[in-house]
Structure formats: C-alpha cells, structure tokens
Structure 1
Amino acid sequence: MTILLYDLVGSDMTRPFSPHCWKVAMALAHKGLEYRTVPTRFLEVPDIEGGASKTVPVIRDGDSVVADSFAIALHLEHAYLDRPSLFGGAGGEAHARFIERWSQLTIHPFISAAALTALHGMQDEANADYFRRSREARFGKTLEEVTAGRDAGLASFRASLEPLRSMLAYQPWIGGDGPLFADYIVFGALQWARIATPYQLLDDADPIAAWFGRCLTLHSGLASRVAAAA
C-alpha cells in the first residue's frame, strides 16, 4: 500500500517547503518506499487524519498514522528492516537525535527569520493572515522588522556552522561514507530556505554548499525537482 505524506504547501501546491516534511520525503526515498504526497496548507493541518497532529509531517502507512519527522523516521526504520538503513544502528539513532537538536537550535532560528516575509508571500490570503498573526505573536515584531535584521546576523550564522564545515573535511556526509537521516535533518533546513527565498545563506565556496548540492542530486534528484526561489 502506498504511504501518504501530508506535505506543507502554500498557494502553489507544487512547492512544498517544510523542512520537516523534506526530511521525511528524503527518508522515504532513501528506503525506496512508494509514497504519495497530500498537499496541505497551514489551516488544513488540524483536520489531517481526524486531528492526528497539530503539525506536519504526518504519514499514513497502512493502519499506522505517525506524526513528527523523527518519529516517522524511526517508524520507517523499524517497519522496513529489509530496506537501506536510515541510522546504521542504535548509535546512529542517538547521533541523529543530537543533529536534530543542533539543527533546530542553531540553523532553524536564523532561517525562520531570514525567510519570514518570503514564506508569508507564499501563502494564499487566509493562510497569509494566519501566518502573520501567529509569527508576529511569536517574534513580538512585524514580519518585516524580523527579516530586516538578517544581514546583521548573517556572518554569525555562517560562523555557527563551523562544526559541520569542519566535519566535512573528514568525510563526505554527516552519516559518514553515505547519507543517513542525520544528513536529511540538516538538508531539510537548507531546502526550506532554498525554496522560500533567494537570499544567499551560504557562500558559494563553502564546503557546506557543496554538500548541499550533493544532497540535491540524491534519489534521482528528488529535491531539485522543486526549483529554487528566484
């Protein structure tokens, strides 16, 4: 049975942008599993699978409904043991959990601010109103005020990625010789930015940019099929 992935979109249903949904899409492709996306806008999320989750991603895999990208990855790993591993064992699961926390606390805050007005512009009228109200309440500022500070924070953001940059001098992937779910975690964050805004987060010569480019070619170029924001 084909797995359903509820995937976050804006007014253009062909441009899914959620970093967490991208993690799952890459994980499904890594496992070689057939899936179908269900384009879902912000205001539609509470109705997914009868209210299964307040956030996406959510998958339906047969009788199982699973929410949260890491929980979904664990489900896929253990439900399909005969498929390529997302973690390479229990140690890899623990390693990926650290990467997830690092990404959420280091990468996501800057991207969420830098791409905020662009993400607002991707929504239809009703969802744009929801997005503005919810994000301005979260930041305590207008969307425009938040995004206006991105240039001042760019150098610090790039410097904060030095652990990843340094690691890539030793190995081609976060997962080692090949990509694992840990790679998809960080990739999802940068793909979120790539789809939302043309703002350049990384210098072209940055080894992280080269790693990201390799990620875009994975799984027959799955992620590159959605064009970068222009």
Structure 2
Amino acid sequence: MNGEFDGLAAIVTGGASGIGLATALHLAARGARVACLDLRIDDLPAPLHGVVADVTDDPAVRAGVAAAVEWLGGLDILVNNAGIGAIGTVEANSDEEWHRVLDVNVVGLVRVTRAALPHLRASAHAAVVNTCSIAAHAGLPDRALYSASKGAVQALTAAMAADHVREGIRVSCVNPGTVDTPWVRRLLAKAADPDAELAALKARQPTGRLVTAEEVAAAIAYLASPLAGATTGTVLAVDGGMHGLRLRAKP
C-alpha cells in the first residue's frame, strides 16, 4: 500500500521543518505530489515544491495556494500544520501576543482552507488534516494561550467536518503530545536546566519519550489516505498514551 497516494496532490503548510517537513516527505514517499507553504523554503529537499506564504496574510495565502495548485495540477489533500507556540498563564501574554498566536494557529488555518476549498471540491479523494495538540483537551501548565488556540482548532475541525462531508471532503485532526521538533529544542535551550526540563517532558508521556515528527506524519497520512475514506471528524491522539493512560507511580 506504499503507493496509495499515487496521482494525488497535497499542500502542507509549515512544510519546511518539523512535523510539516516529515509529513511532506512521508506523503511524497508514498506517491503524492507535494507543495509546502512556509515563510522560508530554503533547502527544501526534492521532490518537494516550495511556495512562500504567510498564513496571516490573506492575499498571500490565496496567491500561494493558487501557485501550488497550478504546479500540482490540482489538489486532493490539505494539511494545515503551520503554527506557533506560546508560554505562560493568562497573565503572561499581552493582548498583542494573544492576537498574534490566534491569527496564526486559528485564523491562518481558516485562510488556507478557504483558499483551498474550491480545488478540494473538484477532487474525488478530498481530505483536510489539521495539526492540533494534546493541549486542546489536557490542562498543561504555562500553556494558556497555546491551549486556547488548539482547543479552537479541535472544535473547528469538527465543525468543518460537518460542513463539508456532503461535499465529499473529509476533515480530521491529529493531537500530538510533546514532539521532538526544532521548536521544542529551542524551548529546552532557554530553560534554566535543559536536561531536567527534557526529562520532565519525557516523563509526562507514558511511553517515557518524546513523540517523533515521523510518527505524527504517519498519523496524518492515515487520516489523509483514500484508504481511510470512512474517517472524518476524527481526533487522533499521537501522544505516547498521555491522553488516556493513568499509570501508577513506580514503587
């Protein structure tokens, strides 16, 4: 089944690094033509096609999606992965920061999907997969703004699935736990004790390790695949068991 994406075209936002890059490469390896929308596309590996676009800029999004679709020759799959993080309680972030994070993580997803929908409607295998987070349903300390944005993404995913299912467009999301990405590594580097912080992040996931970007990519590919044609409105946790498992403390 390695070629189940043969003949299909995909756009991945935030596709130049981390989960987005892993997803783009995974889809391409299984037969898809893939265009990555990102702020910077330097050194994007073949066979991926890069398009510069800022998800907070509606004209740029529309132009970027149009350029990607022209290169791809159509559009079957949209992966809304672009996003930014935020640290702190509700007291820690200014109004400006709240607007900035919500503009990228929520409204940015809306802008890209809005531009992609006319093309997705023409596909026989249309799927949208949103990158959400365990923060959408688990209370994590010092993640108030980020959690609010991802809670909105999860709710938006369900609403989109209901709105577009009769158009033949499936919409789902993945909820990763803490993923070993460049962004997480930058956060760790700023910690007072990076090693202790890394150990704490690993310990809160029952598997005892961080999730890999490739594991999230595989989950996104499942949700996007024509083989999952009966799957829509789904929230797929990729979190090392953090969502549902409650282990006893080691003696």
TM-score range, shorter chain: 0.3 to 0.5
Does 1 or 2 have the higher relative contact order (CA < 8 Å, sep 6+)? 1
Higher helix share: 1
Higher strand share: 2
